[in-house]
Structure 1
Amino acid sequence: MELYVDLQIASENEQSLPELAQIETWVNAAIMAASDDIREEAELTVRIVDAAESQELNSQYREKDRPTNVLSFPFQNPPGITLPLLGDLIICKSVVEKEAIEQNKRLISHWAHMLIHGTLHLLGYDHIDEEEAETMERIETSLMIELGYNDPYLSEKE
């Protein structure tokens, strides 16, 4: 499968960001594990932002006036038109970093989890009800372990 990731860095501090190749690996793993259809290609935008932009978008689209780790905006194909676009992921650098510290996780692991989590949202997965949450968490955990990371729902450091 051909994967096209448009990486946009809109954060003032570019230190400790994952490389494009890492992002592509995580996104590709989520697509391959979660897609029922076999895609020839997929395209998405990953935008890494600061807290102000995350808070603005979270407030506008989710009516939650605070920054959040990841926002997913799935692309809706117009009727009769098929495009490989999955949508956009907006990831707040400072929230991801803060959560990694609070949850005793390695930063790279938390980045991987957020990219996988957001991509699953673009593919239609959700965690609103308990059954959907269990399915989504099972996929995330399986992928993280396959990629050499720990279970994202457990602390990594003691």
Structure 2
Amino acid sequence: MTKSPAISLALAVEGGEWGDLEAVEALAETALAAAVADLAGHEAQPFPETPPEVSLVLADDAMMTDINSQWRNQPKPTNVLSFPAFPLVPGGQPGPMLGDIILARETIEREAAELDKPIDEHITHLIVHGFLHLFGYDHIENSDAEEMEAIETRILASLDLSDPYGDTEPV
């Protein structure tokens, strides 16, 4: 029997009111496990024997605005940012550190309310979205966006969560 690949999670709270941190950590671990299983099973993504580490930084809008301004020249908060430790293309072998996923609490709360969806479901989607960015997936070109959205949708479906894009067909 083949052992499923795994991810090591490092959680850091840098800002915002995140509530029950054990619940957030469990949510992140579930989202990452589903993403790893999907990438390994459906996308033939290799994983090293030793689980690579993902750093999940829980931030607030002020911190996210600073980061977004510095790294993307966009002086406003956003819901999630990802910073790969090393450049990686889909299907490439990850190293021991995948990178950072940063979430902004207030933006996520606003979006979840606007979308009329539970905040945990929105956080799960954003963790999966950020994780795919660490593997080199992006949504700059339409074809790349369609591929990334389809993978996200398939991962979220494996967790019994709805399609965040509303009309994406899983690949």
Which TM-score applies when normalising by structure 2? 0.81
Structure 2 residue 31 is the aligned partner of structure 1 residue 21: no
The answer as to whether partners of 1:46 and 1:90 remain within 8 angstroms in 2 is yes
Shift of 1:2: 3.6
Q: Provide the identity percentage.
A: 37
**Residue equivalent to 2:90:** none
**Residue equivalent to 2:109:** 97
- Which AA in structure 2 matches 1:90? I
Structure 2 unaligned spans of 5+: 88-93, 167-171
**Residue equivalent to 2:76:** 66
Q: What do the CA deviations read for 1:114-144 (whole angstroms, capped 9, x no partner)? A: 0000000001100000000000000111111
- Which AA in structure 2 matches 1:28? A
More strand by share: 1
Q: State the alpha-carbon separation in 2 of the partners of residues 128 and 46 from structure 1.
A: 23
Structure 1 residue matching 2:11: 3-state secondary structure: strand
Quickly say closer, same or farther: Cα 1:118–1:25, change in 2 above 3 A.
Answer: same
Q: State the alpha-carbon separation in 2 of the partners of residues 25 and 39 from structure 1.
A: 19
Structure 2 residue 8 is the aligned partner of structure 1 residue 4: yes
Q: State the alpha-carbon separation in 1 of the partners of residues 70 and 47 from structure 2.
A: 34
**Residue equivalent to 1:125:** 137
How many pairs are equivalent?
150
Which TM-score applies when normalising by structure 1? 0.88
**Residue equivalent to 1:56:** 66
Q: State the alpha-carbon separation in 2 of the partners of residues 12 and 148 from structure 1.
A: 28
Structure 2 residue matching 1:19: 3-state secondary structure: helix
After superposition, the CA RMSD in angstroms is: 1.7
